[in-house]
A = this chain, B = another copy of it.
Amino acid sequence: MGDSPAGKGEGKRLMKLDRNDRLVMIGDSITDCGRGRPIGEGSSDGLGRGYVSLVEAFLTSAYPELNIRVTNTGISGNTVRDLQQRWQTDVLELKPQWVSVMIGTNDVWRQFDRPTMPEIHVLPEEYEETLERLVAQTAPSVKGIVLMTPFYLEPNKSDAMRARMDQYGGIVKRVAERNGTLFVDTQAAFDRVLEHVYPAVLAWDRVHPSAAGHMVLARAFLDAIGYEYKRNNG
């Protein structure tokens, strides 16, 4: 289904975020994208050059009346283990109404590109327990949480790293279901595009998205929170 049938401004609003809500988006390098420090916000540079900036741009341009505050606390190279270390300062103390989490790429990747360093591999059990704990701890104090799967832009599902990433995506889905959060299957969103283009169009290393790749992420996120596209001349 496409847009709301009710038209602009009269029917039921699908958008789940309310006026003056704050949305904190945490994750790894795909979220970070060069954001400002210590807290990324306040301008497009402050939000980095990835999907977080696009989300803010969509919300401000389409819902200027909502005055949504978007904050980026992604850090390159992070695993869920790192998120746990800084969850208090980088999520809870910011007192958001909404939180999004996209983590897991490095948890998996290190198992494949640094096979000699087991101490930096975050295995499925630790991944699930940690993510579960963070979500459970946060849910009571926010209006909503959006859990986004990690992804790997490898269309061959029997590739070892893709298979492992899908396993972690499955964990995210289970955590979302158990905790009743919103869920974004980023891998599925990318897979639809990969039916038509080779992965190199979306990410030079199958991990870090191009501008088009970040647009896929932003749109998948926006769909989850009820964004309605309105034609400019609608």
Question: Which A residues are within 8 Å of any B CB, using their own CB?
Answer: 1-5, 7, 20, 22, 41-44, 47, 49, 53-54, 56-58, 60-62, 64-65, 67-69, 109, 112-117, 156, 158-161, 189, 193, 195-198, 200-201, 204-206, 210-216, 219-220, 223-224, 228-234
Contact = CB atoms under 8 A, between A and B. Distances in A.
Contact of A56 (B60, B211, B223, B232): B211
- The 4 A-B pairs at the shortest CB distance, nearest first, are namely A2-B3, A229-B229, A44-B211, A113-B200
A65 B113 contact: no
A5 B204 CA distance: 36
A161 B229 CA distance: 31
Contact of A212 (B56, B206, B216): B56
Given A205-B204, A205-B205, A211-B44, A67 B116 contact: yes
Nearest to A216: B61
A211 B115 contact: no
A204 B205 CA distance: 7
Given A64-B193, A113-B204, A205-B204, A160 B198 contact: yes
A125 B62 CA distance: 34
A35 to B, nearest CB: 12
A89 to B, nearest CB: 16
A169 B117 CA distance: 34
A164 to B, nearest CB: 10
A47 B215 CA distance: 15
B42 A198 contact: no
5 contacts: A57-B211, A57-B212, A61-B216, A64-B195, A67-B116
A42 B223 contact: no
Contact of A42 (B20, B117, B231): B117
Contacts of A116: 20, 22, 67-69
